Amino acid sequence: MEKGKKIYEGKAKILYETDSPDYLIQYFKDDATAFNAAKKGTINQKGVVNNKISTKIFEFLETKGIPTHFEKMLNDRDMLVKKVTIFPLEVIIRNVAAGSLSKILNIPEGTKLACPVLEFCYKADSLNDPMINEYHIRALGLATEEELETVKKYTFQINELMKKFFAAIGVDLIDFKIEFGKFKGKIILADEISPDTCRLWEKETGRKLDKDRFRRDLGGIEEAYQEILSRVTK
């Protein structure tokens, strides 16, 4: 596949056209941002590592029947993906309290939640991606009732699958954010799944192996991402 015109540049990735109208190339950058880009930096080799980790997770989810935009990894930083119309929604699942949930509800980080918590945020940088609920989504026409049902069904399935996937490599899946799009009328998982978009804590020690090391200046960020990569590719 030939890399064509750049059609979108986000904080961590760039999308390029290909010679097919149905496919795009998703390029993974080393750039890292936090707090709606108030904090900026780079994480050495992050693009390469996240491309590889995302590839592994998408391949795993596909084998379990979850449709994704993933086609194949083209090289270290390029992933061939289906061209979806993305829903402007961040879909978050939490298994353990951390981050913004801990802050908003004053629940200590690490508190296990009695059941997974599903949240939606509206993808709108100018508004700081505010949390919204299903009524907002329907009222604003961001997705239909039927689409929402499918998104929720896949999200809970993905959570169960990923919890097991990470548990098998000694990692607790604390929470994560995913995005969905539509391709030829079908809803499929899009974007990426990586230590940028998940909280991943080493089971034995509770050590953070994700982007919180960057957000909170904990150090050892490259090593943490490499650790996840080496475990998922073992």
Residues in touch with ligand ASP (CB under 6 A): 11, 33-37, 211, 215
Residue whose token pair is 């949390």: 131
Binders of ligand TMP in range 90-109 (CB under 6 A):
92, 98-101
Alpha-carbon distance 63 to 71, whole Å? Answer: 13
Instruction: Determine contact, residues 159/178, Cβ cutoff 8 Å.
Output: no
**Nearest-5° angle of CA 141, CA 177, CA 47?**
120
Least separation, in Å, of the C-beta of 10 and ligand ASP? Answer: 9
Stretch that binds ligand TMP, among 145-153, 164-172, 173-181, 216-224 (CB under 6 A): 173-181
> Which residue(s) pair with 6 in the sheet?
16
Choose between 18 and 43: whose C-beta lies nearer to ligand TMP: 43
Choose between 32 and 84: whose C-beta lies nearer to ligand TMP: 32
Phi, psi of 77 (to 5 degrees): -120, -5
Q: Considering CB distances under 5 to 8 angstroms, the limit depending on partner class, which of ligand TMP, ligand ASP, none binds residue 33?
A: ligand ASP
Q: Considering CB distances under 5 to 8 angstroms, the limit depending on partner class, which of ligand ASP, ligand TMP, none binds residue 37?
A: ligand ASP
**Nearest-5° angle of CA 185, CA 154, CA 33?**
95
x-marked contacts with ligand TMP along 29-48 as a string, rule CB under 6 A: --------------------
Determine, following the binding rule CB under 6 A, whether residue 176 of this chain makes contact with ligand TMP: yes
State which residue has the least CB distance to ligand ASP: 33
Neighbours of 13 (CB within 10 A): 21
**DSSP label at 123?**
-
Phi, psi of 19 (to 5 degrees): -80, 0
The residues of the shown chain that bind ligand TMP, judged by CB under 6 A, are 92, 98-101, 129, 175-177, 197-199
